[in-house]
Amino acid sequence: MPSALRHLLGAAIGLLAAPVAFYVTEAGARALRAALAGFVPGWTGLACLSAVAVLGAALTCWPGLSPLAAACCGVPLAVVGALFATEPEVATALARGLPYPPILPDPGEPAGAVAGLTGLYVLLGGLLTVSAARLWWRRES
C-alpha cells in the first residue's frame, strides 16, 4: 500500500475511533461511579474501559496501520480532557450540545462529563498520542 494512502487511511480510522473511545470511556466511568456508590463490583465499568484499552492497542499496534491512527484518536481526546481540566464549566456547557448514544441510557448529565472531570480523557488521549509519536520516531530512525 502506498505511504500516502496508508497515512490517509490511518487518519480516517483514528478520527472514526475517537467518538467510540469518547463514549465508551464515559460509559465505563459512569459504571464505575455507580458501582462505587452502590458498594458493588464494577464489572461493567471494567469491561468498558478494557474495550477502550483494546481499541487503543489496536490503533497503536495494528501491522501496516499508520501511527496517525493513534494520533488522530488520541489528540482530540487529550484536548477534550485538557479542556475539562482547565475550564470545567466551559467543557460541561459544550458537552451539553453533544448527542448521547442511543445504546446508553441518558442520565441527565452531559456526555463526557464524568470521564472528563476524572481525567480519563487526558490519560487515554495522552497515552495514544505518546505511543503514536514513539511509533513514528521508531519508523523514521
- Residue ranges of domains in the chain: 3-140
Of 76, 59, 53, 87, give the one whose Cα is nearest residue 122: 76
pLDDT digits (tens, 9 = 90+) for 22-40: 999 999 999 999 999 999 9
| Residues across the chain | 141
pLDDT digits (tens, 9 = 90+) for 103-135: 666 677 888 889 999 999 999 999 999 988 887
What's the grid cell of residue 44? Answer: 461493567
On whether the pTM is more than 0.85, the answer is yes
